[in-house]
Amino acid sequence: MSNAPNKPLPWTTRIPVHIALAGGGLFFLLPLLWMIATSLKPLDQTMRPPTNLKTAFFGDGWQAVIGGRRLEVVREREIVPSESRPVYILRPLDPFPAGEMTHPFGKEVWDRYPVFNKQELARMNTRVTSAMTVLTDARNTFDPAVGLLTLQSGRKVRAAVVRRVRPASNGEKLWLVREWRPEDTDTKEVGAAAGDMTRAWDVLPESRLRKTIRLIPHNYPVALRRVHFARSLWNTLFLCAMVVCGTTISSLIVAYGFAFLQFRGRELLFGVTLATMMIPFPVVMIPIYLLYRDLGWVGSFKPLWVASWFGSAFFIFLLRQFYLGLPRDLLDAARIDGCSDLEILWYVVAPLSKPAIAMIALFTFLGTWKDFLGPLIYLNHESQFTLSLSLQAFASEHGGTPWHLLMAAATVFSLPLIILFFFAMKTFIRGVSMTGLKG
Amino acid sequence: MRASVRKSLTGYSFVLPWLIALGLFIGFPFLGGFYFSFCDFPPLKTPMFIGLDNYAQLLHDPVFHRSLGVTLIYGAAAIPLGVLLALTLALLLNTRIRGQALYRVIFFLPHLVPTVVTALLWLWIFNPDYGLLNLFLGKLMHGVDVWTGLFFDLEAAARGRILPVRWSAMLAAGPVAALLAFGPWLRSELTKRAGLFRLVRFAAALSCTLAVLPVLYVVMVRFMPGDMRKLHSPGWLSDASPFPAAVPFAPSWALWGIVVMSMWGVGQMAVIYLAKLQDVPIQLYEAADIDGATWIQKTRHITLPLISPVILFNVVMAIIGTFQVFTEPYIMTRGGPEDKTRFVALFIYDQAFQYQNVGYAAAVAWVLFLVIVGLTLLAFRLSRRHVYYAGR
């Protein structure tokens, strides 16, 4: 490997370097791809261990022809019938309370759905009507001779056979499948959806199932509705606008003072400014909170943007360094022409420091957009939540289970920054290397 | 005289906003916090001076000790690993390789993802049953088991047999391994050719290294069978017990999870390093080339010294950042399991806003500040001999 950046590498070193870089790149990229892949998955796929990497990223949708129609189906579980105890798909002829049959399709099926709490299950199991199909299993046995389905409690109801499932002669796997519908994606309705036994349930040999890639853009509108996207976006943008304007304007002015104006104690004050960058927010968090509380600002946006209008140590420092690199002759010329300091700042210095201003605006925007602790402390009403808070609230409200919706919302939340990055890549990279510049 | 006063006044008027901010938003909280740390601060009442009680409580609070320990361990693990990873990536990128811009973009992307999203995304990746990481790990460890099982009897190793070797397989593979390892080297020594042979030699060295790993694995299975089983799919954020159960102070799985996650944001540091690497004057390398320096020598004596100030800057920023880690544990673990991820910032937040122990939280914040100052000074002191400042 050569350090000299103008000498091309021999291919024998180039390939290992590429492999190492690709490995690194994969580590940075894969989580993002996984986020997007999850955001396009149907709910049932986020509640099942992915079998391999391909299905983990591209999903495993299945299609089958049931009753002459090609349907999107969900593979619920493998069915193992035997000659001694075959499996029947039945239509009950007498209605009966579903509570008698604790798990209409066997417990394993319900165990796949950890989201359901007791109330949801109860809501689901109100009543089994004759329109529904029931699958026999260890608990519910069916006697074809008399046409009676024996429930768990011992109660017998009449039932008609829809299908009898025999073990496949060629030893093929049999799957219990149900029709998949787009609305399954909404966790609010999914309890009803999964318990909805009027759907096409069927048992099919594996050869009748066709693998497809099932991507569900429908997750996005559902997720955005759930995190109150429009409202949160407006709140976030409002804060960003206030903070970006405040920080940029105030830092421009203050840095001018530090760079070009003489006053007693300037160096000391600048030293103190640098030192304050060492103070992490948790150290001053409590007194600042108390201050805002006494001002009556807690529960409003003010604590999150007012301080930025008074300058920010880091950006003052950065701008001052930038100013010092500007040609002094221009300033002197402006002064001789009779400009005041404010005029010089406005007409000479500010236009010249556009790159630095763009960088500051970009970084404050990024910081405000990403901020979590600040809004968490100061905002206490849902209507004021920023995107960070809304997303977190949505996650904790559901115990973090509807991953497909969470990831969809998360993708939309990150997207503006990534788009912004591609538009302002130069400013970003220069800014990042500039922040690491000064030791 | 008069003119200079006016000049001064103009200067002050320009920095006036910042003076207010310094006083109101930094100086007051900073010193106010110091005062509050000596107070009992019941909600909605005036603070009462109670002397050093908060600090005494802090000395005897095991949760605080654990929390400080967790934060320090996290820093000790995440900062060096992060610097190492970022430096490696930057050095690799600096080799005038095609696709540099693309790699740089990819490395930088995670920095753009909001912290809340990062936390949720990794919570999902770490999901013990459905997550991506355990899928990877499961596949990987299955492969390791199969491969190792060819040469070692893993069951016997778990039972504690000292030499769980499958001798027949070993004897059959031995010559092949030796040929792989030394053949290319011998060949290139004989013919003294570079190029393809170097690549083969590199591959052979790599496979030798990989061949040592199963031995290590078997030894570990021998001493901690249960922990090695767990390695196949740890409950990343729920398992408190650290993987090597025998090692005291080892970070828990949950803390390791957060360390791994922090590595994800390291690309931004790599971009910084890369920018600095590209500023290193080419003449230095050319001079070294004339002297016949190897890549390692050039890296060790030219590259690293020249970018050492940036490394120090990043390390200091990372130290400060370590004590600000809040969002990740707040969203992912809430400090659990068994306080193994109760970072100090989370501890302060909980004390102040959940339990309303404002005075106590202020005391913790102040101790935290002193720790940070101490560690930063330590970093500067330790680095004095290794950091090179041009022109000084």
A107-116 per-position pLDDT tens digit: 444 444 334 4
At position A154, the amino acid (one-letter code) is G
User: What does the pLDDT read at residue A231?
Assistant: 92
At residue A124, does pLDDT exceed 70?
A: no
Residues B152 and B288 in one domain: no
User: What does the pLDDT read at residue A135?
Assistant: 67
Give the C-alpha separation, A251 to A265, whole Å: 19
Among residues B183, B209, B233, which one ends one of the domains? B233
Residues B122 and B141 in one domain: no
Residues B79 and B189 in one domain: no
Compare CB distances from B271 to A34, A48, A433 and report the shortest one's residue.
A433
User: What does the pLDDT read at residue A216?
Assistant: 81
A369-385 per-position pLDDT tens digit: 999 999 999 998 888 89
Compare CB distances from B114 to A272, A414, A436 and report the shortest one's residue.
A414
Q: Do B109 and A418 touch (CB under 8 A)?
A: yes
Q: Do B14 and A256 touch (CB under 8 A)?
A: yes
Instruction: Give how far A304 is from chain B: nearest CA, Å.
Output: 12
Q: Do B121 and A410 touch (CB under 8 A)?
A: yes
Residues B292 and B389 in one domain: yes
Residues B206 and B244 in one domain: no
Is-contact A59 A213, C-beta < 8 A? Answer: yes
Stretches where chain B sits below pLDDT 50 are 392
What contacts A65, CB < 8 A, 6 or more positions away?
Answer: A71, A208
Domain with CATH 1.10.3720.10 in chain A: 223-435
State whether residue A122 sits within 8 Å of chain B by CB. Answer: no
Instruction: Give how far B182 is from chain A: nearest CA, Å.
Output: 19
**Of residues A373, A363, A228, A188, the one with CA closest to residue B119:** A373
State whether residue B306 sits within 8 Å of chain A by CB. Answer: no
Q: To 5 degrees, how large is the angle CA A372–CA A375–CA A379?
A: 150
Cis ω before B42 (30° cut-off from 0): no
> Nearest chain B Cα to A387, which residue?
B116
Instruction: Give how far A238 is from chain B: nearest CA, Å.
Output: 17
Residues B87 and B144 in one domain: no
> Nearest chain A Cα to B98, which residue?
A18
A66-75, A187-196, A203-212, A292-301: least confidently modelled range: A187-196
**Of residues B257, B351, B127, B255, the one with CA closest to residue A285:** B351
**Of residues A208, A204, A199, the one with CA closest to residue A44:** A199
Instruction: Give how far A366 is from chain B: nearest CA, Å.
Output: 8
Please check whether residue B66 lies inside any domain of the structure. Answer: yes
More confident residue, A255 or A176: A255
Residues B284 and B371 in one domain: yes
User: What does the pLDDT read at residue A243?
Assistant: 95
Q: Do B198 and A310 touch (CB under 8 A)?
A: no
Helix axes B253-263, B115-125, angle to 10 degrees: 130
State whether residue B384 sits within 8 Å of chain A by CB. Answer: no
Beta bridge partners of A79: A174
Q: Do B326 and A373 touch (CB under 8 A)?
A: yes
Which residues does chain A have within 8 Å of residue B9's beta carbon, measured at their own beta carbons? 263
**Of residues A150, A189, A185, A143, the one with CA closest to residue A164:** A143
The ipTM is 0.83
Among residues B233, B265, B280, which one ends one of the domains? B233
Compare CB distances from A287 to B11, B29, B288 and report the shortest one's residue.
B29
Please check whether residue B114 lies inside any domain of the structure. Answer: yes
State whether residue A33 sits within 8 Å of chain B by CB. Answer: no
Residues B391 and B250 in one domain: yes
Q: Which residues of B116-149 are buried (b: 16+ CB within 10 A; e: fewer)?
A: bbbbbbbbbbbbbebbbbbbebeeebeebbeebe
Which residues does chain B have within 8 Å of residue A12's beta carbon, measured at their own beta carbons? 194-196, 198-199, 202
Domain count, chain B: 2
At residue A239, does pLDDT exceed 90?
A: yes
Identify from B4, B26, B133, B237 which residue to disrupt to test chain A contact, counting A C-beta atoms within 10 A and taking the largest count: B26
| Average pLDDT score over chain A | 79
Q: Which residues of B156-173 are buried (b: 16+ CB within 10 A; e: fewer)?
A: bbbeeeeebbeeeeeeee
Residues B138 and B108 in one domain: no
Tokens standing for residue A70? 């090609």
Looking at chain B from residue 330 to 349, which residues have their Cβ under 8 Å from any Cβ of chain A? Answer: 330-331, 344-345, 348-349
Helices (H), A1-125: 11-39, 53-58, 107-111, 118-124
Question: What whole-number percentage of chain A has pLDDT above 90?
Answer: 17
User: What does the pLDDT read at residue B346?
Assistant: 92
Residues B221 and B244 in one domain: no
At residue A295, does pLDDT exceed 50?
A: yes
State whether residue B84 sits within 8 Å of chain A by CB. Answer: no
What residue numbers bound the domain in which B377 lies?
Answer: 32-128+240-392
Give the C-alpha separation, A115 to A397, whole Å: 12
Which residues does chain A have within 8 Å of residue B274's beta carbon, measured at their own beta carbons? 433
Instruction: Give how far A355 is from chain B: nearest CA, Å.
Output: 17
CATH number of A223-435: 3.20.20.70, 3.40.190.10, 3.20.20.100, 1.10.3720.10?
1.10.3720.10
Looking at chain A from residue 323 to 382, which residues have their Cβ under 8 Å from any Cβ of chain B? Answer: 341, 366, 369-370, 372-373, 376-377
Identify from B22, B31, B95 which residue to disrupt to test chain A contact, counting A C-beta atoms within 10 A and taking the largest count: B95
At position B157, the amino acid (one-letter code) is A
Residues B267 and B380 in one domain: yes
Give the C-alpha separation, B237 to B335, whole Å: 10
Residues B341 and B249 in one domain: yes
> Nearest chain B Cα to A256, which residue?
B14
Q: What's the CATH code of the domain at B67?
A: 1.10.3720.10
User: What does the pLDDT read at residue A413?
Assistant: 93
Q: Do A263 and B8 touch (CB under 8 A)?
A: yes
Among residues B188, B207, B233, which one ends one of the domains? B233
Which residues does chain A have within 8 Å of residue B84's beta carbon, measured at their own beta carbons? none
Indicate the DSSP class of residue A9.
P
State whether residue B198 sits within 8 Å of chain A by CB. Answer: yes
Give the C-alpha separation, A389 to A253, whole Å: 33
Please check whether residue B10 lies inside any domain of the structure. Answer: no
Compare CB distances from B120 to A276, A309, A395 and report the shortest one's residue.
A395
